[in-house]
Amino acid sequence: MHGLHELIFEGRIMEYSKLSYPDMLIKPSYDTIQDDLLVDFYIPVLEHAKRYDRISGFFSSTSLAIAARGIAGLIRNKGKMRLLTCQKLSKDDVTEIQKYVRHADSLIGEKMISEMDDVEDAFKRDHVAALGYMLQQGYLEMKIAVLYDTDAESRKVGSLKNAILHQKIGILYDSNFHGISFSGSNNESATGWLENIEEFKTFKSWKEGQKEYFMEDCDRFERLWNLENDKHTGMYVMDLPDAVKQHFLQISNDFRLDSISTKEYLKQNKQIFFIKEENDKKEPLSLYYYQKCAVNQWIENGHKLMLQMATGTGKTRTAFGCMECACRDIKSGLIIVVATPQITLTRQWIKDMEKLQLDIDEYIEVDGTIHDWRINMRKSLQRVYIGQFNHFVIFTTHDTASNEDFIDILQTYGPGETIFFIGDEVHGMGADKTRNALQSKYEYRLGLSATPKRWFDDEGSHLLEEYFGNKSFHFGLREALETINPRTNLPFLANYYYYPCFISLTDDELEKYRELSQKISRLSHDKDSDLNELRTRFLMRRAEILKNAENKYQKLHDILEKLGPNIQDTIIFVSPQQIDKVMMILREHNILAHRITEKESQHKSNKYSGLSEREYIIKQFETGSYQVIVAIKCMDEGIDIPSARCGIIMASSTNPREYVQRIGRIIRQDGHKSFATLYDVVVEPEHDVIQDDDLKKIEKKVYEKEMARISDLSKEAINRAQVVCEVYQHR
């Protein structure tokens, strides 16, 4: 071979910035059983092509519609397609070709040409006119191959064989003269790429062992393309003017399915191609003044910031404000939203996003509960890679975002994309097992947490601060309680009453508590690592005594009696050991309640009207069907239930994040909440029974931590003064 084929192997580089084929992920073979032929292969290689040579048994302009982005890329590259096919075409395509031959100078109206500023959309709307446009502008050169009886005296229509050209070869070249050939069973039509069970193999010009096969495909194409009349095979190849003049083009009804397939494909992918039309039904994003300040600070800090905002003050909506700015700044990019391990919070993000007019083309939910998440993520990022999506959102969890497979897929399919990383409840990502999610390649970063400082983990806290630009935007509990929302004329968060409810340990519990305290005291000064581990176990066992103290149940009875039978909108926070007994107590009081633990399914089901079991329970609570929700720790972070207005803490740790999150569950404003109420059942150790001075010091430290929690929770309470007096009596 010579000409273009020689230049391929000389490695000549043209001045062209498009992606080269060696940089792309091109498999040795493709089939419709496991691959999306359009998305995985055809569109991406076509979009970066400078020339496309094709032999196809059948051709239909429907292929221009379904591969519109790829064809648009070929045109933008000032490339060219050479097509050799048989004489059987659809009626519309025959009519368009005849118009091209007879009226080439005035074929395409001004409307079509003006619309070529958006080639891709124009091709989807009218693929037949697109065929005429490509012929007229020289982007497509087309020849017709017919078979005739070799013993016939002339090549007239009546002497044509019923047989047709049936070879199927494609050869593409990028602007650096790297070539790919493919050969197999698929025609150049919508059904060939979409409907039929097809397969083909690929050969690359730059790969040893494949170059020879690539060259054979090139030679085969050139031989047939330049063939005029081969009496041995009875094949006659002619250009379009000759085919039209000699009436060789035949209208075939076989392309009816092609038209149906094309319409169905574009309809199914409407959310990909025409999603902006649906934005009219959504509300524009509006932000409060403090949320706008946060967005501006994020921009000023180089698109890195920690949002340290009280629960219920709109961290998520502020993040959407940053997302809106990022979409304006970045022509094409990924947005990764990393929620907590709970799918419920992820879906809450999705639900909130779907209401807003944001420049988001598509999103995907990726987490360990979805079996095929790796495959789904690869396919979605391939669509980003070929340009089907400009702004694409991945919703995932802390664990999945730190997974090596997740990171490798991003690296493989999105190395050139700008990535905006949004970490919700980001304090969890400072842990050793999840900090891998904080990748340096994420250029835009936003962390969300009411309490980002990690408990007893200065290293993890510093890591988070540094990763998010060493700057935080603060809008705390006090500001939210004192600032009036102009929409509701109420504070952004509901003011609340806080009632600490003191109990004592039983004699048995007190004895176990004392024994563990003595053991802890003896081990406190020992540096041996094994003994230190033993001390930690003793500390945890002692904490369990406080957390699950028996007298808490009687205190719950008392609180429920006070609230009365019409109790509503109440969340009771319990430990796993308490939940069964608390549910039994609620039944004794004839209160309708449901538990929420990690066991309730988070997968959508027809059984729950398309909701997950957990979402269904929350909805029943919001509508009043359940008076009370009894929740283990899974309700602490992020779940938005504005209707809740009363909380009872039966079990709590001394970690500020836990109790701050819990008060956040009940003071979220729903537009009608004048105030909320929080009951906190607190164990008061009896210091008088402890004689040992060292033990007294330990008990004092433990109780001081409990008092610190009471102080924090009561600091902004309506009845702050009353709580201070009561606490003073219990010191």
Q: How confident is the model at residue 8 (pLDDT cuts 50, 70, 90)?
A: very low
Please report, for residues 329, 420, 449, 508, the alpha-carbon distance to residue 446 in angstroms, rounded to integers and kept in the order given. Answer: 16, 8, 10, 50
| 21 within some domain | yes
Record the tokens describing residue 639, joined without a space.
Answer: 């779940």
Residue type, 49: A
**Are residue 537 and residue 633 in the same domain, yes or no?**
yes
**Are residue 582 and residue 460 in the same domain, yes or no?**
no
Q: What is the pLDDT of residues 85-102, one digit of tens each?
A: 888 888 888 888 888 888
Query: Is it the case that residue 260 has pLDDT exceeding 70?
Result: no
Please report, for residues 149, 421, 589, the alpha-carbon distance to residue 401 in angstroms, rounded to integers and kept in the order given. Answer: 65, 10, 44
Segment 346-350 mean pLDDT: 85
Query: Is it the case that residue 382 has pLDDT exceeding 90?
Result: no
**Packing angle, helices 404-413 and 373-385, rounded to 10:** 20
| 233 within some domain | yes
- The predicted structure's pLDDT at residue 16: 32
Segment 26-49 mean pLDDT: 84
Q: 556 with 585: CB under 8 angstroms?
A: yes
Residue type, 717: A
- The predicted structure's pLDDT at residue 456: 61
Query: Is it the case that residue 1 has pLDDT exceeding 70?
Result: no
Of the chain, the percentage scoring pLDDT greater than 70 comes to 79
CA-based torsion, 56, 60, 61, 66: positive or negative: negative
Q: Note the residue count of the chain.
A: 731
* End-to-end Cα, the chain, rounded Å: 96
Q: 294 with 474: CB under 8 angstroms?
A: no
Domain CATH for 133: 3.30.870.10
Segment 613-618 mean pLDDT: 88
Segment 540-553 mean pLDDT: 90
- The predicted structure's pLDDT at residue 691: 59
Within a 10 A sphere around the Cβ of 31, how many other Cβ atoms? 16
| 418 within some domain | yes
Q: What is the pLDDT of residues 60-81, one digit of tens each?
A: 887 777 777 788 888 888 899 9
Record the tokens describing residue 659, joined without a space.
Answer: 């109790």
Range from 127-131, 322-326, 523-527 carrying the lowest mean pLDDT = 523-527
Q: How far, in Å, CA of 388 to CA of 334, rounded?
A: 13
**Are residue 517 and residue 439 in the same domain, yes or no?**
no
Q: What is the pLDDT of residues 404-425, one digit of tens each?
A: 999 988 887 666 678 999 999 8
Q: What is the pLDDT of residues 262-285, one digit of tens each?
A: 555 555 554 333 334 444 568 999
Q: How far, in Å, CA of 272 to CA of 468, rounded?
A: 32
**Are residue 184 and residue 313 in the same domain, yes or no?**
no
- The predicted structure's pLDDT at residue 256: 57
Q: Checking DSSP bridges between strand 391-397 and strand 229-230, what pairing results, if any? A: unpaired
Q: How far, in Å, CA of 425 to CA of 394, rounded?
A: 17
Q: How far, in Å, CA of 227 to CA of 145, rounded?
A: 9
Q: What is the pLDDT of residues 222-257, one digit of tens each?
A: 999 998 776 666 788 888 888 888 888 888 766 555
Helix, strand, or coil (residue 536): helix
Q: How far, in Å, CA of 190 to CA of 87, rounded?
A: 18
**Are residue 517 and residue 551 in the same domain, yes or no?**
yes
Output 402 or 20, whichever has higher pLDDT: 402
- The predicted structure's pLDDT at residue 689: 56
Q: How far, in Å, CA of 462 to CA of 453, rounded?
A: 8
| DSSP letters for 353-373 | HHTB-----EEEE--TTSTTH
Q: What is the pLDDT of residues 643-677, one digit of tens each?
A: 899 999 998 876 777 777 788 788 888 877 889 99
- The predicted structure's pLDDT at residue 107: 45
**Are residue 92 and residue 33 in the same domain, yes or no?**
yes
Query: Is it the case that residue 15 has pLDDT exceeding 60?
Result: no
Report the Cα 339 to chain-centroid distance in Å.
11
- Tokens 């004092």: give the residue: 700
Angle at 249 between CA 243 and CA 250, to 5 degrees: 165
Q: How far, in Å, CA of 624 to CA of 645, rounded?
A: 12
**Are residue 422 and residue 390 in the same domain, yes or no?**
yes
| 593 within some domain | yes
- The predicted structure's pLDDT at residue 12: 31
Q: How far, in Å, CA of 675 to CA of 669, rounded?
A: 9
Q: How confident is the model at residue 386 (pLDDT cuts 50, 70, 90)?
A: low
- Mean pLDDT for the chain overall: 81
Q: How confident is the model at residue 720 (pLDDT cuts 50, 70, 90)?
A: very high
- Final residue in a domain of this structure, among 242, 268, 294: 268
CA-based torsion, 575, 576, 581, 582: positive or negative: positive
- Final residue in a domain of this structure, among 222, 241, 268: 268
Q: Checking DSSP bridges between strand 570-573 and strand 628-631, what pairing results, if any? A: parallel
Please report, for residues 18, 211, 238, 395, 449, the alpha-carbon distance to residue 339 in angstroms, rounded to integers and kept in the order given. Answer: 35, 48, 62, 7, 11
Segment 364-368 mean pLDDT: 86
Q: How far, in Å, CA of 171 to CA of 49, rounded?
A: 10
Q: Checking DSSP bridges between strand 304-309 and strand 199-204, what pairing results, if any? A: unpaired
| Count of CA atoms in the C-beta half-sphere (13 A) of 11 | 3
| 486 within some domain | no
Q: Checking DSSP bridges between strand 179-184 and strand 304-309, what pairing results, if any? A: unpaired
Helix, strand, or coil (residue 125): helix
Query: Is it the case that residue 51 has pLDDT exceeding 60?
Result: yes
Q: What is the pLDDT of residues 302-315, one digit of tens each?
A: 999 999 988 778 89
- The predicted structure's pLDDT at residue 124: 67
**Are residue 134 and residue 235 in the same domain, yes or no?**
yes
Query: Is it the case that residue 121 has pLDDT exceeding 70?
Result: no
Please list the residues that pair with 611 across neighbouring strands.
Answer: none
- Final residue in a domain of this structure, among 212, 240, 268: 268
Q: What is the pLDDT of residues 188-210, one digit of tens each?
A: 776 667 665 678 899 999 999 99
| DSSP letters for 344-358 | HHHHHHHHHHHTB--
What share of residues in the chain are helix, strand, coil (percent, to 5)?
A: 45, 20, 35
**Are residue 307 and residue 247 in the same domain, yes or no?**
no
Segment 284-288 mean pLDDT: 92
| 482 within some domain | no
Q: How far, in Å, CA of 634 to CA of 146, rounded?
A: 70
Please report, for residues 14, 576, 597, 631, 656, the alpha-carbon distance to residue 580 in angstroms, rounded to integers and kept in the order given. Answer: 73, 8, 12, 11, 26
- The predicted structure's pLDDT at residue 150: 57
| 168 within some domain | yes
**Are residue 121 and residue 248 in the same domain, yes or no?**
yes
Domain CATH for 406: 3.40.50.300
480 φ, ψ to 5°?
Answer: -70, -30
- The predicted structure's pLDDT at residue 65: 75
Please report, for residues 143, 144, 599, the alpha-carbon distance to residue 246 in angstroms, rounded to integers and kept in the order given. Answer: 14, 12, 74
Helix, strand, or coil (residue 446): strand
Tell me if the pTM is above 0.75: no
Angle at 661 between CA 655 and CA 665, to 5 degrees: 150
- The predicted structure's pLDDT at residue 459: 87
- The predicted structure's pLDDT at residue 270: 42
DSSP structure class, residue 456 = T
Q: How far, in Å, CA of 351 to CA of 366, rounded?
A: 15
Assign 3-class secondary structure to 574-597.
CCCCCHHHHHHHHHHCCCCEEEEC
In which domain, by residue range, is 708 found? 495-729
Within a 10 A sphere around the Cβ of 730, how many other Cβ atoms? 13
140 φ, ψ to 5°?
Answer: -135, 125
Domain count, the chain: 3
| 485 within some domain | no
Closest CA to 73 of 105, 39, 47: 47
Q: How far, in Å, CA of 313 to CA of 306, rounded?
A: 15
Query: Is it the case that residue 7 has pLDDT exceeding 90?
Result: no
**Are residue 283 and residue 263 in the same domain, yes or no?**
no
Record the tokens describing residue 456, joined without a space.
Answer: 């007893």
Helix, strand, or coil (residue 701): helix
**Are residue 519 and residue 426 in the same domain, yes or no?**
no
